[in-house]
Amino acid sequence: MSIEQRILDHVESERDEIISFMQRLIQTRSVTGEEAEIGALMEKECTRDGLEVDLVEPQPGRVSVVAKHTGTGDGPRMMMYSHYDVVPAGDPDTWKHPAFGGEIHDGYIWGRGAQDDKVATCCLTMAYRAIKELGIRLKGDMVFTHVGDEERGGRYGFQEVLNRDYGDGVDYLFYAHGGDPDNIGVAANGSRGAAITVNANQDEFVIGYSCTSSCWKGSSVESIKNISMCIVRQLGCLPDTRYKKNLMWLYSKIN
């Protein structure tokens, strides 16, 4: 039997444990900024698996977990990424099932983070546990990063992990976030920001932007709408065209 089949069979045999762990992750509330409890849970789980665990806490309660496996040598060093913070649940009455219940209905586990991104935290943990329990020895090193603050940009999460040099020597980064089981996408993404300054004087204001040296003066909601449309049009003229579809959607909503 191949190693791959052994792992798949073992994972299937641990189905109930995997489901239970996923439910616990959802039930452990971890809205961005409140990651201490889930950090403690993941510290415990990673320690159970024999990993060398460090906690990264740049501010009180802003906890990320780095868990390291040392390979036998002659293999690549891989960083395995998940984030366990979630956005707020909002009005509980709008949820078909409790946001932090982790309940099973219609063959699905329901709750905040079930897809984004506690599914990755669960899968990385349980995949490594299966390999460990089967006694499979990995040649390369692995650095598991289960982080917070992703939903606010990552400054106090993954960015802090990198600032502390945990990424040194890494050959590959695997971002576990769903996808097709037959394909691993090759990608690199990031974000761009822009600062727009509005000078307001009571109900009259002037807005300017350097890309065309233009400005718009006016008042009322209608003027704000016109300014917004103008900004979206200017963004659509940028060389980077990856986000034109989203910009056009935004333009249609404003217009």
Closest CA to 193 of 237, 248, 153: 153
Tell me which H or E stretch contains 14. none
Q: Is 57 a catalytic residue?
A: no
Residue 76, SS3 per DSSP: coil
Q: Which letter, b or e, does each residue of 153-184 get, where b requires 16 or more Cβ atoms within 10 Å of its Cβ?
A: ebebbbebbeeeebeeeeeeeebbeeeeeeee
Q: Which member of 117, 141, 149, 150 is catalytic? A: 150
Q: Which member of 85, 117, 141, 160 is catalytic? A: 85
Q: Is 14 a catalytic residue?
A: no
- Please tell me the distance from the alpha carbon of residue 16 to that of residue 193, in angstroms, as a whole number: 44
* 168 touches 66 (CB < 8 A): no
Closest CA to 39 of 145, 116, 163, 151: 145
Nearby residues of 87 by Cβ (< 8 Å), 6 or more positions away: 31, 32, 112, 151
Residue 121: is it exposed, middle or buried by C-beta count within 10 angstroms (0-12/13-18/19+)? buried
Long-range Cβ contacts of 185-191 (<8 Å, 24+ apart): 191/153
Residues annotated as part of the active site: 85, 150
